[in-house]
Structure 1
């Protein structure tokens, strides 16, 4: 891999090894399938996806990208995991999702090639897996049109997040494979807000995502102490 690419080879290898299980709703990716209706509804409610040109950065196997295309958007999903992209492409063919395409390219390279081209940019559950999240945020700002929306989701960095997202989710409840997350890479909302300000994005809404292990239910709330989402807009 090009050493200048903003990606961790170990992280890519981790998700590449699981690529064949992306679309199994009972696999390691079950939480993504369960939260996808929540994040999809939130994004669509703010940005109105129908007819929009959308970019999904760090799309993986295409769970969010495919669902946004089904809402009427023209979606491009990008990732650096070739295996995950092949799974996404195969699923699109099998499901007949016509308005979605996938490319192996970094966010930074995409920003150089397609500045100001997208109405909506999404970057969900990805920032905590890269060496330089600020670079991704700046690329998102470059890629979106003036007036366009950029959505992020990631994990807060505090004791509660370590307890719930690492010990709880990976070791106790086994919702995720052990080693999925590296606590040191978690990002406080104040830090992400700072990246957004530097990139020229206005933060318009913050939401938290919570989980009840007894009922298996996820929901959006005002509690950003563990999982949280940002809705930003380019002036």
Structure 2
């Protein structure tokens, strides 16, 4: 069975045509993309390296990594966002290989094939996030980097990420996130270690609703990212 929730795939598929609208439902992704891209690029070499973006959606991060010189494969199980990603890459002249395939299936097909694996804003949308972590660990070469981002599970994240972002500020469509699927850093750290990866660094991402500005910090209480490496 695929490690995917049909309702989640349908939800993002229905919004696929809005993926590259910087003022649409995916505006937050456009705003945070330069921050996460710079953070990834500061730790891992992208030019002339093989990168796999797991859960690539419409290709915002995948395309930006390709523009930095990486050879990028973007994978997703939601067909409509993938078609949007392919069309946008053609229009922008950026070379990205997009495939409709699960992370677990690609891990069986191409183990130890990537210098860098990214999996951003995806773990909280699948039934078994630990399985995706294991697949990412299998995909990366020894010495390579794996990056995850997700949402912490606590009262503050419920208030900020669901009540604030979806209902008060209306930054995201209602129902984008399900609180029970949020992941504590301790849980993600355990899955990472069990998959044979080493945690290198956690980084929080904060947002000021008055200035509409995002920035990276050490506060992982709501949105956070983690950089991992596979031992050589």
Structure 2 length as normaliser, TM-score? 0.99
Structure 1 segment 155-166 matched on structure 2, within 5 A: 155-166=151-162
Aligned to 1:94: 91
Aligned to 1:19: 16
Aligned to 2:207: 211
Please state if 1:127 is matched with 2:123.
Answer: yes
C-alpha separation in 1, matches of 2:26 and 2:97: 21
Aligned to 2:73: 76
Structure 1 segment 137-216 matched on structure 2, within 5 A: 137-216=133-212
The partner residue of 2:6 within 6, 9, 15 is: 9
The partner residue of 2:218 within 194, 218, 222 is: 222
RMSD (Å) for aligned C-alpha atoms: 0.3
Q: What runs of 5+ residues in structure 1 fail to find an aligned partner?
A: none
1:215 Cα deviation after fit? 0.2
C-alpha separation in 2, matches of 1:174 and 1:64: 23
How many aligned residue pairs are there? 231
C-alpha separation in 2, matches of 1:68 and 1:233: 19
1:182 Cα deviation after fit? 0.2
C-alpha separation in 2, matches of 1:81 and 1:131: 15
The partner residue of 2:26 within 19, 25, 29 is: 29
The structure 1 segments of at least 4 consecutive aligned residues displaced by more than 4 Å after TM superposition are none
